[in-house]
Amino acid sequence: MNTRKFYIDGQWVDPILGQPLDVINPSTEEVYATISLGSEADVEAAVTAARRAFVDWSVTDKTERLALMRRILTIYQSRSDEMGEIISREMGAPIDMAEASQSGSGSYHIKAFIDALEEFEFERILRPNTPEDRIIHEPIGVCGLITPWNWPMNQIALKVMPALATGCTMVLKPSELSPVSAMLFADILHEAGVPAGVFNLVNGDGAGVGTMISGHPDIALISFTGSSRAGIAISRNAADSLKRVSLELGGKGANIVFADAPEEAVQQGVARCFNNTGQSCNAPTRMLVERSRYEEALAEACEQAERTAVDLAEKRGGHIGPLVSQTQFDKVQEMIQRGISEDGARLLAGGLGRPDGLQRGYYVRPTVFADCHNNMSIMREEIFGPVLSMMPFDTEEEAIAIANDTAYGLTNYIQTRDPEKARRVARRLRSGMVDINGKARSAGAPFGGYKQSGNGREGGKWGLEEFLEVKAVGGWMA
């Protein structure tokens, strides 16, 4: 694979300018690949190809798009291990996790969108008693897709597949930290027979290609996953053209552990927080524990953190890997330092520096803070590393208030054996998603948040609707 090329109009092409950028393997700090950063001319070529392809692709039959998606799924599954190896090397996910979860999320979402498209009705009557009124869902147009590094295939599949399914064309800008997996995905789409111009890929950074895409007047929709700061900048840049902007942003999830929580709730909560080295927007990074169980929970969390192994991403096993970059490493170290010296939280496990025996690579120590409160920076800011902050609460009302006292609203978590309490609390938590007792949401459930966690919904029929316009037609003749 030539990582210096872009995929535009159905072929791999040389960039028009192509300033080089090294992709660093975070396990070793060595160069893994070198890509080219796109220019305005590259973006223009991709948008032109997408706009031209939209004329025919937008009116294809649903059965044709379903057949294409099934071919994509088959080819993706045949190259899944290859995808996992690339993700492991470019963003540091341990190889077992990269193959099973990181790469596996791609096939999971492709399959889920095939199921969603099979059931979706693009045309229906308004009501049974209004047969002359039709509601028609039509593709919005050329879409700009900007995806992050932390779950590269998860987010690419959540954007590319519904765009394809609904008849849109697109320009994808993957993260410059994890671009090689996106290039393999482009190969998969090419092999499956995606028509020229329907899918285009231009590598680049947010300030360059990202800004060009979000402000381009011929792009009708921006679907972005990343930080809240970047989401605000993209929204401002897109405002002049009044394009639709769908945002999936950060989070600071609360994990409410009631006294009657299942025995394994704390250990599972710590493990969930540290999964993907804490680099997940929906990580439960604030653990709120009912006071009667608090001291026990502290001991359990400390023990879980201390037995969380950290090692090279290329090694097999159940350990966590490095953070993605030097920038991310420095940020997490700064936040741990602030937790200790400025916030005054009690350090239970981990702390500053690298784990023993790992002096090269962006590795951090799994860290747990106790006796926190919601005014601390470690309780309010998204750290994006394996750092858990814990605090006690006394009543259900207090737990809900603490959980909702945040600028974010992506995912919250509830641990209790009382079904009515779980339902009652879930309804009052101000977040787009709530998980109860470790139960994962099913395929097709919408992913997205409230407040500064964004405004979009990805997955299932909601993910399809993000890419559609709604047209009302009266006087329809049978």
Report how far apart, in Å, the C-alpha atoms of 33 and of each of 3, 97, 252, 290 are: 7, 21, 33, 48
Catalytic pick among 143, 168, 281, 372: 281
Q: How far apart are CA 159 and CA 30, in angstroms?
A: 30
Strand order across the 221-225 sheet:
11-13, 6-8, 199-201, 169-173, 142-146, 221-225, 244-248
The SS3 call for residue 357 is coil
Which residue from 419, 430, 391, 411 is spatially nearest to 257, judged by alpha carbons? 391
For residue 392, the number of C-alpha atoms closer than 13 Å in the C-beta half-sphere is: 12
Paired with 388 in beta bridges are: 368
Q: How far apart are CA 284 and CA 109, in angstroms?
A: 22
Catalytic pick among 85, 99, 176, 248: 248
Report how far apart, in Å, the C-alpha atoms of 152 and of each of 16, 106, 191, 213, 460 are: 26, 9, 20, 19, 19
Q: How far apart are CA 478 and CA 309, in angstroms?
A: 66
Q: How far apart are CA 160 and CA 170, in angstroms?
A: 8
Is 445 in contact with 402 (CB distance < 8 Å)?
A: no
The tokens for 405 are: 């006292």
Which residue from 444, 358, 395 is spatially nearest to 158, judged by alpha carbons? 444
By DSSP bridging, strand 286-290 and strand 346-351 are unpaired
Which residue from 303, 313, 256 is spatially nearest to 93, judged by alpha carbons? 313
Q: How far apart are CA 385 and CA 364, in angstroms?
A: 8
- Based on the residue annotation, tell me whether 281 is a catalytic residue of this protein: yes
The tokens for 439 are: 């139960």
Contacts of 99 (CB under 8 A, 6+ apart): 80, 81, 84, 85, 88
The identity of residue 8, as a single letter, is: I
∠ Cα 168 172 178 (to 5°): 150
Q: 138 exposed, middle or buried (CB, 10 Å; 0-12, 13-18, 19+)?
A: middle
Which are the catalytic amino acids? 248, 281
